[in-house]
């Protein structure tokens, strides 16, 4: 039986000054750990403004990057599992939107590179093309803790149900999602999407956003939240900086799966091959 534990989500303000962002992360992780959180998560692109013009300048290489080393130190200093939001990562000629995960000993447990790049065009709303600077990852990311198995995805990844279902079938009980939905997609889809992925897969979903800055080029929605395996909202922040905490009850998750055994009732023989050869009709 998995163990219950306390989760901390750090909704951070993001500025153009990397050192300010890193200091904000230090304070927030310390606050979460001091409050008893055993797993702590930071937002997407927490060390730099979200934008293609910023990603190359702020990019770091593993393992020598300043942010990467600070994340390892924070995990070790506070003896927590730390999902380090995401940062721009450079490897050779490629840039990635990458989440580094460290254990309480400061060692790297996982590295998730955003699989689905945010290339959208909503007239009157927002146009953005991550692929102009970033490359896509191609690996499903899970890691183990004494409490449960945890999956990691980044922002736009959550819109693809196949990914979260794959992680659920790999045994996760919690999906941690550093994410920066914006003021077009956030009000429309933020809560709906997190609740849907949690309900469909009977997992907890913890989505952690940057705090909202109305003066930024890209304005994040905020509203970091945790949704339950029943599809309820367990806790949710507003748009301002916050350290949000949640008690993750894995006995509750197990009861839900026993009472409504969705994952056991799947009929893969019926689904097999459906969707292959998909053609877009516009």
DSSP symbol at 137: P
CB atoms within 10 A of CB 230: 16
User: Quick one: which of 12, 4, 21, 7 has its CA closest to 212?
Assistant: 12
Q: Is 30 in the active site?
A: no
Report the distance separating Cα 149 and Cα 142, nearest Å.
7
Q: Is 114 in the active site?
A: yes
Residue with tokens 């901390």: 8
User: Which residue is catalytic, options 10, 37, 44, 148?
Assistant: 44
User: Quick one: which of 201, 222, 204 has its CA closest to 213?
Assistant: 222
User: Which residue is catalytic, options 37, 89, 155, 191?
Assistant: 155
Q: Is 279 in the active site?
A: no
Strands 141-144 and 149-152 come out as antiparallel
Segments of 126-173 assigned E as strands: 126-129, 141-144, 149-152
DSSP string, 218-259: S-B----EEE-TTS-EEEE--SS-EEEEEEE-HHHHHHHHHH
Which residues have C-beta within 8 Å of that of residue 50, sequence separation ≥ 6? 14, 44, 180, 210, 216, 217, 218, 220
User: Which residue is catalytic, options 37, 48, 89, 114?
Assistant: 114
Helix (H, G, I), strand (E, B) or coil at 271: helix
Catalytic residue numbers, as ranges: 44, 114, 155
């Amino acid at each position: 039986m998995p163990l219950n534990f306390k989760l901390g989500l750090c909704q951070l303000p993001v500025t153009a000054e990397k050192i300010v962002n890193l200091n904000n992360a230090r304070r927030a992780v310390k606050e979460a750990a001091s409050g008893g959180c055993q797993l702590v998560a930071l937002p997407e692109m927490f060390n730099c403004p979200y934008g293609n013009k910023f990603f190359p300048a702020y990019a770091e290489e593993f393992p020598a990057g300043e942010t990467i080393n600070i994340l390892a130190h924070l995990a070790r200093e506070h003896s927590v599992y730390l999902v380090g939001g995401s940062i721009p990562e450079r490897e050779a000629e490629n840039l990635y939107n990458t989440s580094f995960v460290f254990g309480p000993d400061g060692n790297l447990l996982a590295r998730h590179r955003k699989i689905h790049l945010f290339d959208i065009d909503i007239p009157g709303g927002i146009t953005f093309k991550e692929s102009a600077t970033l490359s896509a990852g191609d690996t499903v990311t899970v890691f183990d803790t004494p409490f449960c198995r945890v999956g990691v995805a980044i922002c736009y990844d959550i819109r693809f149900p196949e990914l979260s279902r794959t992680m659920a079938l790999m045994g996760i009980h919690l999906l941690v999602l550093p994410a920066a939905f914006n003021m077009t997609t956030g009000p429309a889809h933020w809560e709906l999407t997190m609740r849907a992925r949690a309900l469909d897969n009977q997992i907890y979903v913890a989505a952690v956003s940057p705090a909202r800055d109305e003066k930024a080029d890209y304005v994040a929605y905020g509203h970091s939240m945790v949704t339950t395996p029943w599809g309820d909202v367990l806790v949710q922040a507003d748009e301002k900086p916050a350290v949000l905490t949640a008690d993750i009850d894995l006995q509750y998750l197990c009861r839900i799966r026993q009472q409504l055994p969705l994952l056991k009732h799947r009929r893969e023989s019926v689904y097999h091959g459906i969707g292959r050869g998909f053609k877009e009709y516009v």
